[in-house]
A = this chain, B = another copy of it.
Amino acid sequence: MSLPHELIPTPRFLMGPGPSDVHPRVLRAMATPLIGHLDPQFLVIMDEVKRMLQATFQTTNEMTLAVSATGSAGMETCFVNLLQPGDEALVCVNGVFGNRMADIVGRCGAKLHRVDAPWGSPIDPQQVEDALRECKPKLVALVHAETSTGVLQPLTDISRIVHEAGALLLVDAVTSLGGTDVRVDDWGIDAVFSGTQKCLSAPPGLSPVSFSPRAVAAMDARKTKVQSWYLDMRMVRNYWGEQRTYHHTAPISLMYALHEALRIILTEELEARFARHRRNHELLRDGLEELGFTLVVEPPYRLPMLNTAWIPESLADAPTRRRLLDEYNIEIGAGLGEFAGKVWRIGLMGCSSTENHVHMLLSALKRIMRPT
């Protein structure tokens, strides 16, 4: 066969729903020569990653680690470890990722109850309270930052309601972690998963997860094996724990990357990082509105790192995104599901959340929309 050429992709500015731009220090870390997954040096790196993930999740949960696959596998990890066939689960759905959770509940052989809200709106705590009068699920799952709609879901009231009903609270923090507050302990989150390629600004391929002691107790009380061998936390935790029992070969280079990305995050400090995400969101919002865009989400529920805007009638969806990519090397995200063709998703995540990114995008859009 004729061999493909070497990789020389044109660099992009990543302003879609992830991956986001990765700091040069993280890229450099990935080029570090590999060591073994049981090398004493690597075990120190794992411990450090765990400690930094705890700080980022704002938790003291002992079972905090990075699953060896992307955020979607982190979602699956939470469900398959907590649900057994015949269990009941309540899933709140207001976008693509709530739907995905509902799909996974079915694959676990569990009984699905669902609460729906319109795309672009949050779940109302009253809906959860009403639903919990009709069923008694083992867990209630919802999405903290719906990447398909741009909605930030308030969690404190729902957490109280869920725990009063004796259920576990399972939260998708793929897009929120590292870009806005995710207070796992303060908010009583029992199982949470994220991804590395959003506001953590590391490459995709790992999924940080954290489980409360209550969630761990639920795993320990299982009568059946977890349906996934790869994601079985009762085995994975023995590799991350003191036993260091071999389970599978950890993705060494991605762990290097996550290690460096977390060092960058904690050096900036969480509060400053969240403030930066808010500032750049506001700058983008003002600029988009000036160009005639309308944001999808009501102000109190807007995600700072994932901005959804209705596409003006004057602009063709795919051709305009293609021009941004081809002429300006700027990637923004298309609408998903109900929002396909109607909405753009503009990410300002991690290293992609800078004034310069906002200026570049707004200026490029201005040139495309108002050619002189």
Neighbouring B residues of A103 by C-beta, 8 Å: 229
What's the minimum C-beta distance from A136 to chain B, rounded to whole angstroms?
Answer: 25
In the bound complex, what is the Cα–Cα distance between A50 and B322 (angstroms)? 25
In the bound complex, what is the Cα–Cα distance between A10 and B16 (angstroms)? 37
The number of chain A residues touching the other chain, given as a range, is 35 or more
Q: Which residue of B lies closest to A16 (CB)?
A: B36
In the bound complex, what is the Cα–Cα distance between A73 and B1 (angstroms)? 29
Contact of A266 with B by CB under 8 A: yes
Neighbouring B residues of A76 by C-beta, 8 Å: 228-230
What's the minimum C-beta distance from A354 to chain B, rounded to whole angstroms?
Answer: 15
- A51-B1, A107-B225, A107-B227 are known contacts. Are A7 and B251 too (CB-CB below 8 A)? no
Would you call A9 and B230 a contact (CB within 8 A)?
A: no
Neighbouring B residues of A176 by C-beta, 8 Å: none
Neighbouring B residues of A195 by C-beta, 8 Å: 249
Q: Which residue of B lies closest to A266 (CB)?
A: B3
Stoichiometry, as copies per complex, reads 2
Would you call A254 and B251 a contact (CB within 8 A)?
A: yes
- A19-B36, A48-B4, A104-B229 are known contacts. Are A253 and B252 too (CB-CB below 8 A)? no
- Interface segment among A22-30, A212-220, A309-317: the answer is A22-30
- A72-B229, A248-B70, A253-B205 are known contacts. Are A7 and B29 too (CB-CB below 8 A)? yes
Contact of A39 with B by CB under 8 A: yes
Neighbouring B residues of A248 by C-beta, 8 Å: 70-73
What's the minimum C-beta distance from A218 to chain B, rounded to whole angstroms?
Answer: 19
Contact of A303 with B by CB under 8 A: no
Would you call B19 and A249 a contact (CB within 8 A)?
A: yes
What is the predominant secondary structure among interface residues of chain A facing chain B?
loop
Interface residues of A in 190-236 (CB under 8 A from B): 195, 197, 203-205, 225-230
Would you call B31 and A1 a contact (CB within 8 A)?
A: no
In the bound complex, what is the Cα–Cα distance between A52 and B11 (angstroms)? 24
Neighbouring B residues of A359 by C-beta, 8 Å: none
Contact of A263 with B by CB under 8 A: yes
Would you call B21 and A34 a contact (CB within 8 A)?
A: yes
Interface residues of A in 27-48 (CB under 8 A from B): 27-37, 39-42, 45, 48
Q: Which residue of B lies closest to A201 (CB)?
A: B34
What's the minimum C-beta distance from A56 to chain B, rounded to whole angstroms?
Answer: 10
- A36-B16, A107-B225 are known contacts. Are A249 and B6 too (CB-CB below 8 A)? no
| Listed A/B pairs (15) with beta-carbon separation below 8 Å | A1-B266, A3-B267, A4-B48, A9-B42, A10-B41, A12-B39, A27-B30, A27-B32, A70-B248, A72-B230, A107-B228, A204-B249, A205-B253, A246-B336, A253-B253
Top-5 shortest CB links A-B: A205-B251, A69-B69, A4-B48, A72-B248, A203-B253
Q: A12-B33, A203-B251, A227-B228 are in contact. List 19 more A-B contacts (CB 8 A).
A: A1-B266, A4-B51, A7-B45, A9-B32, A9-B33, A14-B34, A18-B249, A19-B36, A70-B249, A70-B250, A106-B225, A195-B249, A203-B254, A204-B249, A204-B250, A205-B205, A205-B253, A253-B254, A253-B257
